[in-house]
Chains A and B, each alone.
Chain A
Amino acid sequence: MLSLDALAIALAIEGTLIAIALGGLVGLRMWLIVRARQVEAGVAALEPLLHRWLIDDVPVDAIVRALRGLPAHVAFRSVARLTTPYLTFERQQRLAPRLRHEPWVQRLLAGHDSLFWWRRFDAARLLSIVGDPADAPMVAALLADTRPAVRLVAIDAAARLGGALVDLELSTLPFRQDAVQQYQFAALARHPGAVVAALIPRLTPLEPPAQLVAWIDAAAFLAHPDVLWRVRDLALHPDAVVRLHVARALRRHAEPETVPVLLRLLGDDDWRVRAQAARALGALRAVSAAAPLSAAVRDRAWWVRYRAALALAQIGGEARAHLVTVAGGDDPLARDMAALVSGLSPAAVVEMSEV
């Protein structure tokens, strides 16, 4: 049974812990306030210099000197906070080599293999600002980090450095869950030059379909003409899922040659391909597709009818007249769908066509 002595010990421990908690409340708060003020002061000192550098009013050395005068953590936080909103990729490329060998940068980058994840996180973030090609092994190690947040920040660094690192990261994307895949690709695509170069050779029918669809989605996200041309060439792929992704991606490819490809996909055997082709034709405002789309409103699949009707509403003008005709026609399914979409406001049509 619990004795009075044991309770007395428990009371003493609890009392001590309460005193520590109260002391910690005051002490930690004050420490955080001091650190936050330091960072604010650093940002306030750096911001006008960055503005002046952007209009070439001061040399880059002024920024380097200002940062050198700050404590390492303040210099890092200030740079991290200001580079994303203020500096273009080209400006960052000019600033990076001047900062890379600064003592405070060296000290923070030494944390890239630390046992503490937050040091690796900071090193990865800093590499996304100041990394150079010699840092590739460090970035590759951070890309394989056990902490997803560290990996994500390292992707930024990989995109900055390009080359083999981008290729390495692209090769892992198909094996990630959709949301992760899209987000990580978006991080890579902040520096599209390297990504386009790495993506083009992958857009070939020789790639396994499961991976090919990930590259096609990436191409759609990038919306770069060079990669979308390659996507268009995959429209005759034997795998229906690949054709489905091609149809979806081509809505971002506003070229006259795209419409005939999409019209062909509108007649595909697989209803999912037909639905996505209809959606893409609407997104491209393909006036010439009005007649085939109004035929697609009579499709046996609900989604094809829905997408085709939305596409006609989205194209507007003569296409909307087609929709009105279908709404008064004798096919009950087509008539219902046309009536449903005709009831939507223009804004709702745009929004519903988007998803």
Chain B
Amino acid sequence: MADALQHSAWFVRAVHAADLGILWYMLLVNSFFALLLVLAAPQLFAHWRFGSEDVLARSLTSSAVPRVSILVPAHNEAVTIVESLRALLTLQYPYFEVILVNDGSSDDTLARLIAAYDLYQVPPAVMRRLRTERVKAYYRSRTWTKLLVVDKHNGGKADSLNVGLDAARFPYVLACDADTLIEPDALLRLARPFLFDQKIAAVGGTIRVVNACTVREGRVVDARVDHRWLSGIQTVEYLRAFLFGRLGWNLLGGNLIISGAFGLFRRDFLTEILGYATSTVTEDFELIVRLQRHLREQASPAKVVFIPDPVAWTEVPTSVAVLGRQRERWHRGLISTMVAHRHVLFNPKYGATGLIAMPYFLFAELLAPVVEAAGLVITVLCTIAGVLSTRFAVAFFVAAYLFGTLLSLAAILMEEVSFHRYRRPSDTARLLWFAFIEPFGFRQLTIWFRLKAFWRYVQGYHSWGRMKREGFGATPPPVSPAPAAPPSR
């Protein structure tokens, strides 16, 4: 078989063509990553300076910061809900409300909330503008006037966010996940671009990995890097994605991702585009693509920006199975969003979004697992056929490996010289270790999960997949039987 392949002209031509394609692909994509890195560095410095203690302290004393409604969709979050909600309610910010939407939880999420926050049912003082699943009841807290809990039938995260959007009273809304821990001053930092610049539609902040951190009262009091490889590697991955990936896009004018776990929006823009789409499994990505489209169609100068210093912490999967479900869902969402907004692609009418961001997401994100898998298959075939130049292949793989590692190191360097959340040298050493080992095993796993997404997308699969939470290391408080809600009148 090896001989037959070696002497087959079409095979050799096909291998050459594929080789050339993959090499050019790697060159272009890696050059683009390098460009993002170069663009991110000065911005990181700027945000580090703006976010300095003195400037921030003066913002905090101002009573003119924008009022913010925090929207928290929750579905079966009984393990962490009381603690993460407490962290939200005690944020350092002069004016905000928290709207927690219980999305038809089948566990005791609502009972825990009623017990912990002394909730009582109130009449619906809400002007409904968006179509959503039916709301069962609205609750206010006797102990926290900032809190509104909405209990509704299950309709998914996007549906819950839309219910929250309807109930929001303030002109700015922060969308965050119930299992996300927001740092006390993060909201103040996140609001900064709205105070400095007239033309901002949405702002995203950084998400970090909470798994090995010590959490007390819903606050990360000791930031650590997990020693377990899966969450350790994801810690580096998150640093890379947030510190230069998204920051670099600010200057290219087409930021397409604001994490659904932590993003601040002007509410008027969200209601203009009819809120979150319920038909996708990555409602955050889809929302930003639709928002960018809307802004360009309306010829609005408003921008979607990312800033690195507001930090929220989230749990990442610690098992391969859960990681697989998460990555497969993310990629499936990417495919469906790209298909739904395909006419934006290469369309000059949409400016940087159509000409830079969408093509980038098509080639460097959506097709990346296909190209990488093709590269691996071709290598195996060439080895079998005996047409592989071993020196070239080794040099190529080492170059690709070093480049990936270099990007991770750059992210760690940026983190260390700017925000420096991980104080112990042992944590920095762990970050470096995981940066070096990420390409062995983890990367191939994610390629496989993302390839599965194509198959699932073709099958019309529309599930989120079950995510298992470990909680933040504290035992949830005991729950007393829920008191009967007082009559609403």
Q: Are A355 and B46 in touch, CB under 8 angstroms?
A: no
List residues 139-171 of chain B with CB under 8 A from any CB of chain A.
Answer: 140, 142, 145-146, 169-171
Q: Are A81 and B120 in touch, CB under 8 angstroms?
A: no
Q: Are B125 and A340 in touch, CB under 8 angstroms?
A: yes
Which residue of A has the minimal Cβ distance to B121?
A343
- Point out the residues of chain B lying under 8 angstroms from A206, CB to CB: none
B272 adjacent to chain A (CB < 8 Å): no
Q: Are A351 and B146 in touch, CB under 8 angstroms?
A: yes
Q: Are A182 and B409 in touch, CB under 8 angstroms?
A: no
Instruction: Convert A7-32 into 0s and 1s, putting 1 for each residue whose CB lies closer than 8 angstroms to a CB of B.
Output: 11011001101100110110011001
Residue in contact with A21 in the complex, picked from B27, B191, B399, B409, CB distance below 8 Å: B409
Q: Are A1 and B54 in touch, CB under 8 angstroms?
A: no
Q: Are A182 and B64 in touch, CB under 8 angstroms?
A: yes
Determine how close the nearest CB of chain B comes to the CB of A333; give it in whole angstroms.
14
Q: Are B392 and A348 in touch, CB under 8 angstroms?
A: no
List residues 176-216 of chain B with CB under 8 A from any CB of chain A.
Answer: 191, 194-199
B342 adjacent to chain A (CB < 8 Å): no
User: On chain A, which size bracket covers the interface?
Assistant: 35 or more
A149 adjacent to chain B (CB < 8 Å): yes
Q: Are B140 and A180 in touch, CB under 8 angstroms?
A: no
Q: Are B488 and A343 in touch, CB under 8 angstroms?
A: yes
Residue in contact with B46 in the complex, picked from A32, A77, A117, A302, CB distance below 8 Å: A117
B105 adjacent to chain A (CB < 8 Å): no
List residues 54-108 of chain B with CB under 8 A from any CB of chain A.
Answer: 54-55, 57-58, 61-67, 97
Q: Are B399 and A345 in touch, CB under 8 angstroms?
A: no
- Point out the residues of chain B lying under 8 angstroms from A345, CB to CB: 120, 140, 142, 145
B343 adjacent to chain A (CB < 8 Å): no
A134 adjacent to chain B (CB < 8 Å): no
A104 adjacent to chain B (CB < 8 Å): no
User: On chain B, which size bracket covers the interface?
Assistant: 35 or more
Q: Are A22 and B63 in touch, CB under 8 angstroms?
A: no
- Point out the residues of chain A lying under 8 angstroms from B169, CB to CB: 352, 355
- For the complex, what is the distance from the CA of A293 to the CA of B151, rounded to whole Å? 33
Q: Are B195 and A183 in touch, CB under 8 angstroms?
A: yes
Determine how close the nearest CB of chain B comes to the CB of A331; give it in whole angstroms.
16
List residues 174-189 of chain A with CB under 8 A from any CB of chain B.
Answer: 176-180, 182-183, 185-187
Determine how close the nearest CB of chain A comes to the CB of B193; give it in whole angstroms.
9
Q: Are B125 and A186 in touch, CB under 8 angstroms?
A: no
B398 adjacent to chain A (CB < 8 Å): yes
- Point out the residues of chain B lying under 8 angstroms from A348, CB to CB: 122, 140, 145
- For the complex, what is the distance from the CA of A84 to the CA of B59, rounded to whole Å? 11
B489 adjacent to chain A (CB < 8 Å): yes
- Point out the residues of chain A lying under 8 angstroms from B122, CB to CB: 343-344, 348
**Contacts A81-B53, A84-B58; is A21 near B195 (CB within 8 Å)?**
no
Instruction: Convert B379-418 into 0s and 1s, putting 1 for each residue whose CB lies closer than 8 angstroms to a CB of A.
Output: 0000000000101100110110011011001101100110
- For the complex, what is the distance from the CA of A302 to the CA of B319, rounded to whole Å? 52
Determine how close the nearest CB of chain A comes to the CB of B413; give it in whole angstroms.
5
B23 adjacent to chain A (CB < 8 Å): yes
B278 adjacent to chain A (CB < 8 Å): no
Residue in contact with B65 in the complex, picked from A77, A183, A339, A355, CB distance below 8 Å: A183
**Contacts A182-B64, A343-B489; is A18 near B145 (CB within 8 Å)?**
no
**Contacts A15-B402, A339-B489, A343-B489; is A179 near B23 (CB within 8 Å)?**
no
List chain A positions with a Cβ less than 8 A from chain B. 1-2, 4, 7-8, 10-11, 14-15, 17-18, 21-22, 24-25, 28-29, 32, 77, 80-81, 84-85, 117-118, 121, 125, 148-149, 152-153, 156, 176-180, 182-183, 185-187, 221, 302, 306, 327, 339-340, 342-345, 347-348, 350-352, 355
3 nearest A-B pairs in the assembled complex, by CB-CB distance? A186-B64, A148-B196, A14-B402
> Could you give 27 example pairs across A and B, Cβ below 8 Å?
A1-B16, A1-B19, A1-B20, A4-B391, A14-B403, A18-B402, A21-B406, A21-B410, A24-B417, A80-B54, A81-B53, A118-B45, A118-B46, A152-B196, A177-B198, A178-B66, A179-B66, A179-B194, A180-B194, A183-B65, A187-B62, A340-B125, A344-B140, A347-B142, A348-B145, A351-B97, A351-B146
If A152-B196, A306-B125 are given as contacts, then 15 extra A-B residue pairs at C-beta distance below 8 Å, sorted by A number, are: A2-B23, A15-B402, A84-B58, A148-B197, A149-B196, A176-B198, A178-B171, A179-B171, A180-B197, A183-B62, A221-B64, A343-B122, A345-B140, A345-B142, A351-B97
List chain B positions with a Cβ less than 8 A from chain A. 16, 19-20, 23, 27, 45-46, 49-50, 53-55, 57-58, 61-67, 97, 120, 122-125, 127, 140, 142, 145-146, 169-172, 191, 194-199, 389, 391-392, 395-396, 398-399, 402-403, 405-406, 409-410, 412-413, 416-417, 420, 428, 432, 488-489
